[in-house]
Structure 1
C-alpha cells in the first residue's frame, strides 16, 4: 500500500503476526502436535491476544475459531491504519477494506499451505522420518491435505502426485480470488 518507511514497518510486523495467527489456526485444524516446541512457541506468541476472544467466541466442534477471527480483524485494522497514514477517509472505502481483508486472509492461508507443501515434498526427499520439530510440524500440517487429494488421485507406483494437484488447486483458487477482487474494484 505504500513505500514510506512507517507503512512498511507497520505492514511487515502486522503481516508477520497475522501469519503466525493463521498458522496457529491451521495447526489446530490439522491436529498437529500441541506439545511440539514450535507449536508451543506459536501458542505463547498468540495467547495474550486470544485469551479475551476465547472467552467470547464459542468453539466450532473441537476447533477454536478465535485465531481466524483475530487474523481477519488484524487485517482490517492494518488496512485502516495504512489508509489513515495515507490520508484517506475510512467511510468511503470500508466495504472495500472488508472485502480486501477477506481476500487477504484466504490468500494468506493458501500461501501458507503452498509453502508447507513445498517444504513437505523437500523433507520427504531429504529427511524422511526426521525427528526435528520443524519437519514434523510441516508434515503434520500438510498430511490432512495430502490424504484428501490422495482419495481422488491415489499414488501411482509409489509416486505421489497429490502435491501437483494441490499446487494446481491453490493456483486456481488464488486466480479466481484475484479476478473477484479486480471485478469489485
Structure 2
C-alpha cells in the first residue's frame, strides 16, 4: 500500500496539514505565545477551516474542540482516501479506530520531535531567543513539568527527556499498526 506514489503523496500532504492543525492545538493547550511569528503562520494556515467550526463547536476549558474535530476530520479523510486507493473495504468501526489512533499517533510524533529539538537546542543554543526555539520550549514545558513531578533532576543532570522519549516510543509502538 505504501509503494504507490499517489498514496505516498496523499499521506504526505494530509499528514503535513494534520501536523499544522495538531501544532495549533498543542500551542493553544500549552498557552504558547500567540504573537510569535510562527504561531501567526499556523493560525493563518488553519483559520479558513477552523473559523466555521468554531461557530458550531465551543471549546471545553483549555481544549479547543473545534481544532480537535478538524484534526480528526483530516485524519478520517486521509484514512478514507488511502483505504479507497488500496481497495480495502472497511466498516465504520475500522474508520473510527484508524482515525482516533492515527490522530493520537501523530500527536505523539509531534511531541517526540519537539522533545528532540528541545534537547538539541539545550546543547547547541541554550537560552536561544529565536521564535522557533521559544515555541519548542513552550510546547515541551508542560511535559517536562509533569515528568519533574515524578523524576527530580540529579544535580545539573535532567533525565526527564529520556523517560519522555521512552514513554512516547512505547505508546507509539502499540498504536503503530493502526496509524496511517
Q: TM-score, normalised by structure 2?
A: 0.92
Q: CA RMSD in A?
A: 1.7
CA spacing shift, 1:13–1:172, aligned 2, 3 Å:
same
Matches of 2:173 and 2:82, distance apart in 1 = 25
After TM superposition, the runs of 4+ consecutive aligned structure 1 residues lying more than 4 A away are: none
Q: CA deviation at 1:178?
A: 4.2
In the alignment, structure 1 residue 17 sits paired with structure 2 residue 17: yes
Shift of 1:84: 2.1
Gaps of 5+ in 1: none
State the TM-score, normalizing by the size of structure 1: 0.90
Q: Cα deviation per residue 1:25-60 (whole Å; 9 max; x = unaligned)?
A: 011111111110000000000000111111111111
Distance in 2, matches of 1:87 and 1:11, equals 16
Q: Which residue of 1 aligns with 2:37?
A: 37
What does residue 109 of structure 1 align with?
Answer: 107
Contact 2:30 2:139 in 1 (8 A): yes
Residue deviations 1:65-115 (CA, integer Å, cap 9, x gap)? 2122111111111111222233444xx433212201111111111111111
Cα distance between partner residues in 1 of 2:124 and 2:154: 21
1:146-173 deviation digits (Å, cap 9, x = unpaired): 0110111111111111101101111222
Distance 2:173 2:74 in 1: 24
Q: Runs of 5+ in structure 2 lacking a partner?
A: none
CA separation of 1:6 and 1:176: change in aligned 2, threshold 3 A:
closer
CA distance in 1, matches of 2:112, 2:7: 27
How many matched pairs?
Answer: 179
| Partner of residue 175, structure 1 | 173
